[in-house]
Amino acid sequence: MKFRIVESINDKGIFKAIFLTGNPGAGKTYTIDKITDGGIMPRIVNTDKFSTIYGFSDDTKQLVRNVLKNYLNGMLPLFIDGTSSDISNVYSRKGILESLGYDTGMIFINTSLETSLQRNRNRDKFVDEDFVKRSYEKIEKNKEYYRKTFGYFYEVNNDIGELDNDTILNAYKSSYNFYSSDINNPIGVRHYEEMKQNRYRYLTDGIISEQELDKKLLTWYRK
C-alpha cells in the first residue's frame, strides 16, 4: 500500500538533509531531540529503528528504502542518522540526495573516548570495547574529510556535562538556519521552479518516475 505525505512546495526545509554522525556513545538520538522543535521537523531516517525489530536483513533494508522513498518524493527535510565509520557509504548517500536536488550538511556529535567507553558499558546492548576503540579512531579520522566535503558542517560537544542550554540553543539555531535557507543545489532549484509552475506536489508527478527513484535508492545500502 502506498501513502503520500501532504506537504507544500512552499514549506521550509524542502530539499535539505543533514547527516547526523558521531563517535560511539555520542548520543545522536538524544541530541536530535534537544535541537528540534515544531518549527521545522526533519524526518529521521534511522536503520536502528527497524533493525531492532526485524534484524538487519534485506527486508529491513527494503523497509527503510520504502520510508525514505516517500520522504524524498515529497522533498521533505531529513536527518540521516547512521554510522559514520564507512566514509564511502556516507558519500554514496550524499550523492543520491544531491542528484535529486538536496542540499546536504552534517552535524557531528563529539565525545571523548573515555565517555564513549563509559556509555557503552551502560548500554543494554554492550559492544566489545576493542570495537568501540577502533570505531572511535576511524570516525575521528573521517571527521576532517567530512568537514572539508560538506558545505555545512557543525560540531556539537556531547561529552559529560558539555551539552548545556547554550550548546543546545546554538546547535538548534545553526540547524534551523540550514533548513530554512534557500536551496543552493542547481538541480533542486530547477526542480522547485518546475514543480511550482506545474503545481506538482511530488517529484513523481512529473520530475522523476517512480522507477528512477527506486533505482537510485537501490544503492542506498552498498554491498
Number of neighbours of residue 143 by Cβ within 10 angstroms: 19
pLDDT at position 37 is 67
The predicted-structure confidence for 22-55, as pLDDT tens digits, reads as follows: 877 777 777 877 777 667 889 988 765 554 445 5
Specify the pTM: 0.86
Distance CA 177, CA 174 (A): 5
Whether the predicted pLDDT of 4 surpasses 50: no
Task: Tell me the fold of 16-217.
Answer: Rossmann fold (3.40.50)
The cell numbers describing 4, all together, are: 503520500
Domain ranges of the chain: 16-217
Task: State the amino acid at position 201 in one-letter form.
Answer: R
Task: State the amino acid at position 68 in one-letter form.
Answer: L
The predicted-structure confidence for 113-169, as pLDDT tens digits, reads as follows: 888 888 878 877 777 888 888 888 888 888 889 999 999 999 988 887 777 888 888
Q: Closest Cα partner for 109 from 48, 35, 15?
A: 35
Residues of 95-112 as b/e, b for ≥16 C-beta within 10 angstroms?
ebbbebbbbbbbbbbbbe
